[in-house]
Structure 1
C-alpha cells in the first residue's frame, strides 16, 4: 500500500518532525497537573491531567462519556466552551505556555502547529462548498500559496489520505460522500498546513468497523511516515491498543491509571481499567493484547 509520503508530490512532502530524528526529541505538547473548572457551576471538572507528547508518539485518552477527555483536549486547543476555564496547572505547545498566547497567536498556531479531527465530520464542513475548495482555502490562508498551487496541494492531500479519484472527490459536496470519506476529507484539511500535533477526538466512533480500521491505518501512517504526534481520544480500548504508546484512563475527571499502553492493557492496576478491558474483550481486544498469536 502506498504511504503518505508516496502520495504527496516531492515539493509537498510533510515535514512534521522538528529537529534531528536521530537525536533527543523535544516535547511538542506538555500538560502538567491541568485542572479545568466550570465557572458557572463553581466546580472543578478535570482534576490534574499530566502527559508529555513527542514527535511520532501517540497518547491515548480513554474513559466513559463525561470523564473529561474532550475538555482536556479542548483546553490544549484553546477552545474550551463558555464558562469553562483552566484553573490550575499548565499547558505548553512546543515549549510555549498557551496561557500567554493572544487571540492572534492562537489563530496562527491552530492548523500550523496543532490541529484536530472530531466526531461527525459533516458538521465541520460547509455543505454549500465543494470539499476540495474547503481544503484549498486552508492551504491558501495558512501556507500563503496561490490559488492554483493550493488546488494542487488539496488534490495531493486527498490522495494522501487514500481517497480514490482525488480529482473527482475535490469537486464533490459533503452530502455526496460517505461518512468514512468525509472523515478522510477532514483529516486532509487538518494536516493541510503541516501541523506537529493532531488531536483525534472520537474520530472513528460513528464509522462501521471496516471504515474504522481504514481510518486507524491512516492515522498510523501519518505517525510513521510524517512524524506526526497524535492524541487519540476514544471510549474504545481496542482503538487505543492498536495505535497508542501511552494510555491515560479517565473517570469522573480524574486520571485513575496512566502508563505505557502495553503495561496498562496487559497488567491493569485500577478496577475501572479492568472493567473497560473486560467489556471490550468480546469486541476483539485480545488480538491486540497478544500479538504473538498473529501469523
Structure 2
C-alpha cells in the first residue's frame, strides 16, 4: 500500500450528497491574444464540509481554473466553453455588481503571497474591519470587535497587538493567518486556497492547513486546496484532480486515485514521493 493516504472519510452510508455550492462543467479557457486554449475541459463540484484538491506542476492550469471560478481571469483570457455555477446560477448571467457581492460572502480565496493582497499603509485590523463593514454592513465598533475576534480565531498569539500592526511588521505565517481571517470574515461557503502555504516553512505550513481544516469542520466550509505537492493533497482532501498542461489527467476520490492511479503522470508523482521516503504521510492503519 502506498505511503500517501488520505485521512478524510467518506460520507455516511445512505446519506444524500449535498448540493454543490461551486460547480464547474467542462470549463475551457482560451487566451484571446493567441487563440490558444490553455485549460481543457475541467469539471468539479465543491460541497459544504468537503475538500477538493487540485495538484499539478507550475503552468498546469491550476490557478487559471481557480481564477475562472472566482471571475478573476486576466483581461486577455476568457472562459470559451462550459459553465461555472454558484448555487446553481451560471456566473455568466451575473452582473458585475452581483458578482462583487458574491465574492467574500459565498466564494472567497487566499493566495500564495499574502503581502500582495494587503495594503501596506493600513493596519491589518482595519483592513479586516473594512471587509466586515462592506460585506456585512457592520458599524465601525462592531466591525472592529469582530475583526479582533477573527484574529483570535485564526490563532494569532496576541490579536490585540496584531490588529494595530502594519503588514510589514508581521511574519509570513502571521500574514497568511490575517489573510485567512479577512477571507472568512463574511462567512463564505467555499474557500479557495491557491498555493496558500507554498512559501512557508514546513511547521508553519502544517499549522495553516490545520487551521483551514478546523474552519471546515466547525463551519461546514467547502475547501479547494491547490498545490504542487501531492503528499499535502493526499493528507487533506476528499477528492483530487491531477492536472498537467491544462488538462485533468486523473480525478476521483483521493484514496482511489492514490491507490489505483490510471495515468502515468499520477504514478510518477506517487513514485517521486515514495522515492524520497515521506514516511510521515502514512496513516496509523498502515503503520500498524
TM-score of the alignment, normalized to the shorter chain, above 0.5: yes
- Of residues 46, 61, 64, the one that matches 1:68 is 61
CA distance, structure 2, for counterparts of residue 285 and residue 106 of structure 1 = 42
5+ residue gaps in structure 2?
A: 1-14
- Give a deviation string over 1:192-211, Cα, whole Å, max 9, x none: 00000100000000000000
Report matched runs for 1:74-223 at 5 Å. Answer: 74-223=67-216
Contact 1:131 1:185 in 2 (8 A): yes
CA distance, structure 2, for counterparts of residue 95 and residue 291 of structure 1 = 39
Query: Aligned to 1:255, what secondary structure does the other structure show?
Result: strand
CA distance, structure 2, for counterparts of residue 50 and residue 287 of structure 1 = 31
TM, length-normalised to structure 2: 0.92
CA distance, structure 1, for counterparts of residue 287 and residue 127 of structure 2 = 41
Q: Which has the higher contact order (CA 8 A, sep 6+)?
A: 2
CA distance, structure 2, for counterparts of residue 164 and residue 23 of structure 1 = 40
Assess, with a 3 A threshold, how the Cα gap between structure 1 residues 294 and 187 changes in structure 2: closer, same or farther. Answer: farther
CA distance, structure 2, for counterparts of residue 270 and residue 23 of structure 1 = 30
- Give a deviation string over 1:88-138, Cα, whole Å, max 9, x none: 111101111001011101110100010000001111101111111100000
CA RMSD for the aligned pairs? 1.4
Which residue of structure 2 aligns with residue 241 of structure 1?
Answer: 234
CA distance, structure 2, for counterparts of residue 111 and residue 284 of structure 1 = 40
* 261-270 or 113-122: bigger deviation: 261-270
- 1:258 aligned to 2:251? yes
Which residue of structure 2 aligns with residue 14 of structure 1?
Answer: none
TM, length-normalised to structure 1: 0.90
CA distance, structure 2, for counterparts of residue 224 and residue 292 of structure 1 = 23
Query: Aligned to 1:41, what secondary structure does the other structure show?
Result: coil
Query: Aligned to 1:268, what secondary structure does the other structure show?
Result: coil
CA distance, structure 1, for counterparts of residue 279 and residue 27 of structure 2 = 33
